[in-house]
């Protein structure tokens, strides 16, 4: 079987906030892309025989002490290891390595800019001569290396793009990977298919077939334990493992009592009843509620839930290990791998991954991570190809501690049930309006520890407040609140006040990220 990862693109990361986005944009064209720290070894970078390289942007100036440089192994007698595209800082690093001159620009370029293509070339083939692009740089190319010519210019950058077509080397001072560069995808496609000669082999079906073969080779006849949360990552990991090894897989689902309405029942129904997987469902609701009694500080809630979850899961794991289970499977996905690597000095760690870590030392499992090569959107596509239902595949992001961090203040069963009902009403109305896919990235209700005066019939009430949150985002690093129709908000508010006991007021959160976060706690 042909490895769908072979013949793709290696992205060397110089610390840009957009590095993952470069890989995603390449994969969207059906070409595998993998991100490596700029100082990764040649053997590591070449393990899947990439046909080309992309050097990412970064926050440094090329002449700063310890500024990241193109690695020495990249050159063989002055010739690069394959066609290369340098983006922003990557262009400057390429220039510096080959003897060109980079200098600080008197006028920095940030935001939208116009570039003029000055001569025909493969990188801009089929595009207009004037292009809108997204700039984000303070330095610029003063003199390209020998063999390069200028391909485009802007008001402040005489070499907004440069190239050496003979060697397949190109650089652009702007960011083609961001949505603010309208024809950026066309530029990347030209590089992938016309310059590198890549083939579009990366697809959900190809990934599944390759993964099934690799999982069977890795696991053999041994048994595997999977922590099944009900979220999309663990669900797809479970479905993929079940296809590969069938009854050798045992999944453990811990119900903390903090899940959304109907989710515990849906997990059991989907995976045990419909898909025939071996599933151990543990209802630890009372245990979690007891541990969280009178705890109101959000970080303390998170720590208590995380520790108790590990304790409960570890007990199940011990029992299974005693029966011969050798492997522990996790729903780790590619952004977790990139952000947790930390091997490059220029890496900007945004978050650490939060799978089943911290298990006691007496448990000795080998790790299986079947989704570690996938971005979230790819996980969903694989889930669809595996036949998982839409309400699993397209389940909205949900924090690890669950409703505990959306139920602000003291946690009681009554308050959690009120929040569950309000959240279900909000999601139901959004679904009816066709706003759960595409128009919104994350939507939920929050129960506030605030009471307000209200009137119901002839009676005065003094009850709690529900806040509604709906955001749109491509990467969850930034997000904007969704301008939901007023009539929809009116229906949701009316239903919540009438159907949810203990709530008499509904508000809508109109804060973007930044300065706010998506979650409230």
Catalytic one among 38, 96, 137, 175?
175
The one catalytic residue in 88, 198, 407, 443 is 88
Catalytic choice (38, 109, 137, 177):
177
**Residues in contact with 216: Cβ distance below 8 Å, sequence separation at least 6, in sequence order:** 244, 245
**Three-class secondary structure of residue 150 per DSSP:** strand
- What sign does the CA torsion over 465, 470, 475, 480 have? negative
- Residue 88: active-site member: yes
Q: Which residue in this structure is represented by tokens 């926050």?
A: 59
Q: What's the CA gap between 155 and 105, in Å, rounded?
A: 11
DSSP strand pairing (503-508 vs 169-172): unpaired
Residue 177: phi, psi to the nearest 5?
-80, -15
Provide the Cα torsion 196, 1, 209, 366; round to 10°. -100
| 305 close to 401: Cβ distance less than 8 angstroms | yes
User: How many CB atoms are closer than 10 A to CB 343?
Assistant: 13
Q: Is 177 a catalytic residue?
A: yes
Residue 407 appears among annotated catalytic residues: no
Per-residue tokens: 395 = 């389940």
Give the span between the Cα atoms of 282 and 36, in whole angstroms: 39
CA dihedral for 266, 272, 273, 277, sign (positive or negative): positive
In DSSP terms, which residues pair with 169 in a beta bridge? 84, 164
Catalytic (active-site) positions: 88, 175, 177
């Amino acid at each position: 079987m042909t490895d769908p990862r072979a013949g793709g693109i290696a992205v060397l990361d110089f610390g840009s906030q957009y590095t993952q986005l470069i890989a995603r944009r390449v994969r969207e064209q059906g070409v595998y892309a993998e991100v490596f720290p700029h100082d990764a070894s040649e053997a590591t970078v070449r393990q899947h025989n990439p046909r080309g390289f992309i050097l990412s942007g970064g926050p440094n100036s090329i002449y700063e002490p310890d500024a990241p440089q193109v690695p020495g192994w990249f050159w063989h007698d002055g010739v690069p290891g394959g066609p290369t595209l340098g983006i922003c800082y990557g262009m400057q690093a390429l220039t510096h390595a080959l003897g060109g001159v980079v200098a600080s620009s008197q006028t920095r370029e940030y935001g939208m800019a116009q570039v003029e293509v000055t001569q025909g070339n493969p990188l801009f083939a089929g595009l207009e001569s004037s292009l809108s692009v997204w700039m984000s740089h303070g330095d610029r190319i003063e003199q390209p290396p020998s063999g390069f010519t200028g391909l485009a210019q802007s008001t402040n950058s005489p070499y907004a793009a440069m190239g050496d077509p003979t060697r397949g080397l190109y650089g652009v001072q702007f960011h083609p990977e961001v949505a603010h560069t309208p024809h950026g995808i066309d530029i990347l496609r030209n590089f992938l298919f016309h310059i590198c000669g890549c083939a579009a082999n990366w697809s959900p079906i190809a990934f599944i077939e390759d993964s099934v073969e690799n999982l069977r080779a890795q696991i053999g006849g041994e048994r595997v334990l999977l922590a099944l949360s009900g979220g999309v990552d663990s669900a797809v990991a479970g479905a993929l493992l079940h296809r590969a090894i069938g009854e050798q897989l045992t999944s453990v689902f811990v119900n903390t009592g903090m899940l959304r309405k109907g989710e515990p029942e849906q997990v059991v129904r989907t995976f045990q009843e419909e898909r025939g997987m071996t599933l151990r469902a543990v209802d630890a609701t009372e245990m979690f509620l007891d541990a969280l009694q009178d705890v109101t500080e959000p970080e303390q809630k998170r720590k208590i839930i995380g520790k108790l979850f590990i304790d409960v899961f570890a007990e199940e794991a011990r029992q299974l290990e005693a029966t011969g289970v050798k492997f522990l499977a996790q729903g780790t996905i590619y952004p977790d791998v990139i952000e947790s690597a930390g091997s490059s000095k220029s890496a900007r760690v945004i978050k650490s991954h939060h799978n089943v870590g911290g298990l006691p030392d007496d448990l000795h499992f080998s790790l299986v991570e079947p989704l570690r090569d996938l971005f979230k959107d790819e996980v969903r596509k694989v889930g669809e190809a595996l036949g998982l239902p839409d309400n699993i595949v397209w389940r909205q992001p949900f924090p690890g501690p669950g409703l505990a961090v959306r139920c602000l203040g003291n946690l009681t069963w009554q308050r959690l049930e009120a929040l569950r009902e309000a959240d279900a009403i909000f999601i139901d109305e959004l679904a009816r309006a066709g706003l759960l896919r595409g128009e919104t990235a994350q939507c939920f209700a929050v129960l506030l520890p605030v009471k307000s005066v209200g009137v119901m019939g002839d009676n005065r009430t003094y009850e709690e407040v529900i806040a509604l949150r709906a955001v749109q985002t491509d990467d969850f690093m930034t997000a904007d609140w969704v301008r939901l129709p007023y009539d929809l908000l009116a229906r949701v508010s009316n239903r919540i006040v009438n159907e949810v006991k203990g709530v008499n007021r509904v508000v809508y959160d109109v804060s973007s990220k930044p300065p706010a976060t998506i979650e409230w706690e």
